Every structure is written in structure tokens, then in C-alpha cells.
Amino acid sequence: MTVPAPEPAAAPRPLVVTGYHGEPTAATLLVATFDPGQRMRRAVRGLAGFWGAMVVSVFIPIAHFVLVPSFFAVGIWQFVRRLRLHQLVRGAHGRCPDCGAEQDFELTAGPRFPQGVQCRQCHRGLTLAHAEAA
């Protein structure tokens, strides 16, 4: 049985950061790409974490009837999920349009846009969205 080669990842679209004042600024996605060895290590770590919790939950009376099978199944699901994941969006990098601070923004809703982010310097709410096609 042959495993199909992963399709090349699409180039991330440019992002725009808008705030209360000033002109919107450009931002870029921070994307982590994993080679097969890194994917295997991540998958094994995920599996080991859930199966470790499974072993500990064996000693919890009554609850182990639910916890052990749950941790077993979720560990396998996590292993397969991480093994198939080639790229992971870690966040975005840009400049705050209000205070001008260069920083990494944490994405709370994954790679869904637009979404609200907060400047770490001036603590203002900002909006991170895809740049409009020119």
C-alpha cells in the first residue's frame, strides 16, 4: 500500500491589522511545517500523554470505567491526527497600527479571519483580517 504524497501547501494570504487610529498595517501568518520525523515525534508524545493519563486513571475507583477507555481512544485519535498534520498555524506577526509595536499575535480561533487580537504594548483591541484583493 502506498501513501500519497502530501499536496503542496497553499501560500498563506497576507493579513491586515486594523485598530482605532492610524492606517491598517500588514501582518503575516506564522506557520510551522513538520517533516515526517517531527510528525512522528509529536504523534508519539500525544499518544504517550493520553495513555499515561489512562494508566493513572486505573487507580480511580468507579471513574476508571469511563476514563480508561476514553483516554485509550482519544490517545489513538490524537496519534492519527498529529501524524497527518503537515502544517500548523502558530499565530501572526505584524505591527500595531495604534502604537507601532512589532509583535506576534496569538490566534484564538485558529486560522479563521477576521478575528480580534490584542496589542501586548498598548492593550488595545485590534482586528486581524485577510488583505483585500487589489
- Tell me the pLDDT band of 111, cut-offs 50, 70 and 90: confident
d(CA 104, CA 83): 27
Cα-Cα-Cα-Cα torsion 77, 79, 5, 37, nearest 10 degrees, comes to 170
- Tell me the pLDDT band of 22, cut-offs 50, 70 and 90: confident
pTM tops 0.75, yes or no: no
Beta bridge partners of 125: 118
Question: How large a percentage of the chain has pLDDT more than 70?
Answer: 88
Q: At what angle do helices 36-57 and 64-84 cross, to 10 degrees?
A: 180
Strands ordered across the beta sheet of 25-33: 102-105, 87-95, 25-33, 15-18, 125-130, 115-118
- Tell me the pLDDT band of 126, cut-offs 50, 70 and 90: very high
Give the single-character DSSP code of 112: -
Is the per-residue pLDDT at 117 higher than 50? yes
Predicted local distance difference test score (pLDDT) of residue 12: 59
- Closest Cα partner for 24 from 131, 108, 106? 131
